[in-house]
Chains A and B, each alone.
Chain A
């Protein structure tokens, strides 16, 4: 019982960290800070998997956790870091939606996520399910990042936030996605990030900038 409630508390903590990471990604302006938030989120997600694995005695979840750490906490941030280095001034100096307004939006989106998942939480009982709103909120915030931020790095971050949110919900909802599915999802995103990175590098080479608005103009 005691270890159960401990793991429940830890689960809540890691889920909260995922949301915190999303919020910080929206809050910070420097690309470096945003990537850092993403790394924390990767760790938290991996932590969720490991805790669930220990709690439910599913060894595969531990493997998932290890995989998540490698990919989401190290490899993807590493790729993004190199992109940041390509464009050292590339913070969000002039986002589409300004930061305070984005923060208000984040609060409202979180509220929406919490309200939308209430029926779900009330129908199915169990600690992990009650934490699903954190994942949904992360997805919505990720989407908002896509809408509200200009730089290519931020776009990737938004995508990754969505993926992390979905990952969290999936982990909590099914108490452990089959490893294969999780592997597929993670690798998919990894692939997307690699492709986007290549594209961004090309973009930088062509346009000398990583601002998405620069793409509006057609170039020969």
Chain B
């Protein structure tokens, strides 16, 4: 891979991605909710409901807890900014790399971590028991999901000697056989668990609950309201969509645009939308059948993901 120059085209396709995710992510959340409702025999809200909620929140005024500081105020901005940077830099629609370094998977992991860290610091900043609880639980999960994610990425990267998403996708497309190697199978399993944990889905956290004591994520953002909460909700939905898109592109890279033409970019866009929607539906359908794990069983789940990803690295070494 040569170091790409920053051309208007590349920046443009990056911005297209950002726009797509900004608009589409809440719809994905709406879709997942609807699917779940239908499977449980309820009618459920319309798919665009998350957008309505965001609009309502944007009209409200901000509030900040008494003893909190600047950290509380800037955390939503940091979360959103890291999310946007990640979406902008990652080649999701087209393998024409935005920036060769930007498509680096390890860099993406650390950027996402920055968002989680800022949110959990904000929760501690409120000085309430719930904030501490959510923060402590989130960091425990992140600390254990992180290694599984890094090693799973390494297993994929080991085959092509590069941790660049574009290179991994290109190699997989050039050698379709590589799509079904054991290391990909194992690292896919690990990846799915990590995605569920990082985006706070079942069985790690229940996105539908609002009971302070059982939840992780809601406890973190309990004190936010108005535009701040809107920012967080939007950023969270983009992160979920992004993780699903990453999963889709890493393991099912078909349809990604190769060339710099508008048509192929358009196709790439539709294919990505379809893939992410399918993954979202599958996950929410799976959630109907799964119960939330006890908090202290979650480390076990993540340890399993970690084991699978190490086995994936080992398999990569054996097959090579």
Contacts and interface: CB of A to CB of B under 8 A. Distances in A.
Contact of A27 (B186, B307, B319): B307
A111 B189 CA distance: 19
A103 to B, nearest CB: 4
A86 interface: no
A134 interface: yes
Given A100-B300, A103-B303, A5 B177 contact: yes
A130 interface: yes
A12 B319 contact: yes
Contacts of A114: 314, 317-318
B310 interface: yes
Contact of B182 (A19, A99, A106): A19
B314 A9 contact: no
Interface in A174-195: none
A103 B182 CA distance: 18
A106 to B, nearest CB: 6
Interface in A96-144: 99-100, 103-104, 106-107, 110-111, 114, 121, 130-131, 133-134
A122 to B, nearest CB: 12
Chain A, interface residues (CB within 8 Å), range: 20 to 34
Contact of A110 (B299, B303, B306, B311): B311
A130 B318 contact: yes
B310 A9 contact: no
Given A13-B185, A100-B300, A100-B303, A107 B177 contact: no
Q: Name the residue in A8, A103, A133 with the highest tally of chain B Cβ atoms < 10 Å from its Cβ.
A: A103
A19 B316 CA distance: 14
Q: Quick one: which of B178, B308, B315, B318 has the most chain A CB within 10 A?
A: B318
Contacts of B308: 20, 23
A contacts with B: majority SS:
helix
A103 B303 CA distance: 7
Interface string B276-310: 00000000000000000000000110011011101
A16 B185 contact: yes
Contacts of A13: 180-182, 185
A13 B189 CA distance: 13
Contact of A107 (B178, B189, B299, B311): B311
A15 interface: yes
Nearest to A5: B177
Given A107-B310, A107-B311, A6 B185 contact: no
A17 B185 contact: yes
A99 B314 contact: no
A121 B308 CA distance: 23
A166 interface: no
B120 interface: no
Contacts of A6: 177
Contacts of A106: 307, 311
Contacts of B306: 103
Contacts of A111: 314
B183 interface: yes
A99 B303 contact: yes
A148 interface: no
Contacts of B303: 99-100, 103
A60 interface: no
A10 interface: yes
A111 B307 CA distance: 12
B185 A9 contact: no
Contact of B307 (A17, A107, A134): A107
Given A100-B299, A130-B319, A16 B181 contact: yes
Nearest to A13: B180
Contacts of A134: 182, 315, 318
A58 B185 CA distance: 28
A23 B307 contact: yes
B182 A15 contact: yes
Given A130-B319, A134-B182, A20 B307 contact: no
Contact of B181 (A12, A107, A110): A12
Interface of B: 177-178, 180-183, 185-186, 189, 299-300, 303-304, 306-308, 310-311, 314-315, 317-319
Given A15-B182, A131-B319, 14 more contacts: A9-B178, A12-B180, A13-B181, A23-B308, A27-B307, A100-B300, A103-B306, A103-B307, A106-B311, A107-B311, A114-B314, A131-B318, A134-B315, A134-B318
28 contacts: A5-B177, A6-B177, A8-B177, A9-B177, A10-B180, A13-B180, A13-B181, A13-B182, A16-B181, A16-B183, A16-B185, A16-B315, A20-B182, A20-B186, A20-B308, A20-B311, A23-B304, A27-B304, A27-B307, A100-B303, A103-B303, A107-B311, A111-B314, A114-B314, A114-B317, A114-B318, A131-B319, A133-B318
Interface of A: 5-6, 8-10, 12-13, 15-17, 19-20, 23-24, 27, 29, 99-100, 103-104, 106-107, 110-111, 114, 121, 130-131, 133-134
